[in-house]
Amino acid sequence: MAVRHTIILMQPSQNRSPRTLMDYNSINHALDGICGLYERKIRDINPMIPNITYDITDLYNFIDGLADISVLVYDHEIHAFLPYDWQWIKQKLFQHLKKLAQR
């Protein structure tokens, strides 16, 4: 995926105060950021497990458990950010992780 400014907007719970904005230089970095959030959550829950493993279903469940998540990707042709929802995020995560696994 080309280098495209990407912003993740996330609300982990129904409580509106812990909203999060994460800023990345590319879609791939943003997808890695989402995986990193999930991995940190696993480490917080299971601090004694040295090697964390998970599958795509676990990652999808993490996304489904959030109150809200969306992505804004900058489009150079229209000079504006385009919004994408959790379904797009799941699709891109699957493609991204599949590519990483094939390396």
pLDDT, tens digit, for every residue of 81-93?
999 999 999 999 9
List domains and CATH numbers for the chain: 6-102 (3.30.2260.10)
pLDDT in tens, 5-62: 999 999 988 877 778 999 999 999 999 999 999 999 999 999 898 888 899 999 999 9
- In this prediction, residue 19 carries a pLDDT of 86
> 97 and 36 in contact (C-beta within 8 Å)?
no
pTM > 0.75: yes
Cα dist. 20→49, 60, 65, 79 in Å? 27, 19, 15, 24
